[in-house]
Structure 1
Amino acid sequence: MSETGQYLTFTLGGEVFALDIGTVREVLELTTVTRIPRTPEFMRGVINLRGRAVPVLELRRKFQMPVAADTVNTCIIIVEALLDDEPAIIGALVDSVREVVEIPATSIEAAPRLGTAIRQDFIRGMGRQHEGFVIILDGNRIFSVDELTAAGEAAVLDAAPSSSAMPVEVQTG
């Protein structure tokens, strides 16, 4: 009997990506993000999430995709990633969140060596779904320790004291 995993799917530039639902803490509507000086271009800034400064990365920029204007569908996915074996809370800015899907392990193929717009080490696998594929990301590899350490240190010094972030419930099942 094969194992089935649950994944939160989202879009970037018309492509469908997924993160293991076990790493997703919540989905937020787009809110004001405080820009932090001297951070990488893909670092949008930080938000204040219940009194805690959380770095927000623009996945389009991180994956070197064309930049697009924010829309009413733009969301921040709050994920927990392991950095140096320590859990870290990170926001990932995406074009839109779709749904939680179940993908059997037998329907997940290895990441292709060529032809992907993003670095191969960011991809955990390609999940077959309906007539297409979902790019399953490895959240622990997308966010590097050095980048987030620099962003975290800047966030502590520069974070805004409040935010209007409102959680959006993620339905599983």
Structure 2
Amino acid sequence: MYMKNIFRIMLLLTTMLFVSCGDDDEVKLPDTKDVNYANIAGSWRLSEWNGENLEGDTRYYYITFDRKGKDGKRSYTIYTNLNSATSEQIPGSFLLSKEDDYGDIISGTYYYQLDTDDEWEYSYIVSGLTDTSMIWTAKEDMGEMKVYTRCNEVPADIIAGTRASF
């Protein structure tokens, strides 16, 4: 009789142990937003490029999107020193679209002084858009990936072109 009680208690404890285990370790992903002109409008900083973290680096790349169209185009301005020792300001226009095989796509055209528009090297699949970040993966080269982090504004010394590279 004593052994039966011990067996019942052990069975009860084992059952309670399994019932009390839950999925508390479940990872909650941030809510993603629809990729549209309103949700990507504003300023973004390139924080990771092809797996390389750019945080704390003297190199920078900011892009500011204007959601309002002018002459049928929506504009952006890039502020960067990735290809130069000094600040560059590169204006252009961009377009959002959806493709069956890829989803949300952003593509763009640079405006140059010689009145010759030049398209971006890649069009990008936009994924993981949240209030604070988004991921771009080149449609033509899936190894090309950029992570952008939303920022309140492009720093004034970068806009003015006075930030030193080193």
- TM > 0.5 fold call: no
More strand by share: 1
- Kindly name which structure, 1 or 2, has the bigger radius of gyration based on alpha carbons: 2
With normalisation by structure 1, the TM-score equals: 0.27
